[in-house]
Amino acid sequence: MKFINQIEPYLTEHEVAAVSEYLRSGSWLTEYKKTEEFEANIAEFMGTKYVVVLTSGTVALYLALLALDIGAGDSVVVPDYTMIATPNTVRWAGAEVILADVERETLCLDLDKIQLRENTKALMYVSINGRSGDMARVAEFCRANNLHLIEDACQAFGSKWDGRKLGTIGEMGIFSFTPHKIITTGQGGAVVTDNLELYEKIKKLKDFHRTQPGVDIHTGIGYNFKFTDLQSVVGIEQLKIIEHRIERKKAIYNMYQDGLSGLDFVEFLPANLDQTVPWCTDLILKDVTQDDFVTFLKDKNVGSRRFYPAVHTQEPYAQSQDPFEAAADLAPRGVWLPSSIGLVDEDIQYVIDTIQYFG
């Protein structure tokens, strides 16, 4: 029997054809026209003025901080439940991480749990699995406290709050295109913004701080975080069927929810699928350990993945006191189920039947 992976990229013959055509075209593989096209297509989909595609979501977060001149002597608010890249980029920039607990219903930052300091310059709002809290309140909180709002929307491509795309509400929205995301280019990330100044700063930072592309005059210290056209060719094809990709993610979530909701050892977080595009179906275990559940499924040829541990439990962020109740409680009980866009209904039904048998 085949093994059902927790996630795998969804690629079609369209990507194969587009990549072969591109490779035969004599192009250089490096960032050029195809990347411009990919950026323009993302901008159109997001409804923002500017998009910069970068080598990863992590790099996109880092350059967003640098573009805002955040560094040594500053601090940035980060949720205690997120992928480790979020706090790491704050440390890369030389700033201090202020962790805050998350809401139980969304796993996103709980505004009531934030302890701001005098040197706090920004808030990184992470829309975990396409969910978000009240973004009007988040934006107002940042405005009232003079904080920059960076949206880490790496898990929220296509998701919305109140009809507005997540990633377009803060000054900058950050996305990731790794294979488990809604669209993938292998590695890759993007910053979307309506702010011309931030856009231009990020464009320079990614290209050695050149005054203009191709001109070897440098007005600052930059990096080489340029993308490749080879990857953009894949991204362009993935975006062409974005509506299908989104609908399939929602359908998978619905099928799991219908099939598993009655079980007493699993709990679903609220998800409004009109707004949320779950990158993976997530569930919270009750009276069952993550290890027992994941191992049981693996023995039955089903891949699953444990939630990230709460940030404060990771060595570089270890804190002696533990005030992060929601993250500390939910992170060790959360699991992602197989959620690839290419899964057929029979596969999902098999996973559901297997989990029912576990009970």
Interacting residues with ligand PLP (CB under 6 A): 56-58, 82-83, 85-86, 126, 152, 154-155, 176, 178, 189
Q: Which of 334, 325, 338 is nearest to 289 (CA)?
A: 334
> Smallest gap, in angstroms, from Cβ of residue 219 to ligand PLP?
27
Nearer to ligand PLP, 64 or 154 (CB): 154
Considering only CA atoms, which of 106, 105, 104, 103 is closest in space to residue 114? 103
Least Å from the CB of residue 189 to ligand PLP? 5
- Nearer of residues 61 and 294 to ligand PLP, judged by Cβ: 61
| Residue closer to ligand PLP (CB basis): 232 or 350 | 232
- Minimum Å gap between C-beta 126 and ligand PLP is 5
What sign has the CA pseudo-torsion 239, 166, 251, 339? positive
Q: From 285, 326, 254, 357, select the one nearest 99 (Cα to Cα).
A: 326
Are 336 and 308 spatial neighbours (Cβ–Cβ below 8 Å)?
A: no
* CB nearer ligand PLP, residue 165 or residue 355: 165
Q: Least distance in Å: CB of 187 to ligand PLP?
A: 6
Q: Output the smallest distance, CB 107 to ligand PLP, in A.
A: 11
Phi-psi region of 208 (alpha: psi -120 to 50; beta: other; left: phi over 0): left
Which of residues 86 and 132 has its CB atom nearest to ligand PLP in the complex?
86
CB of residue 295 vs ligand PLP: minimum separation in angstroms?
24
Widest pairwise Cα distance in the chain: 65
* Nearest position to ligand PLP, beta carbon: 57
Give the residue with the Cβ less far from ligand PLP, 278 or 350: 278
**Rounded CA separation 311/86 (Å):** 10
Closest CA to 270 of 289, 286, 257: 257
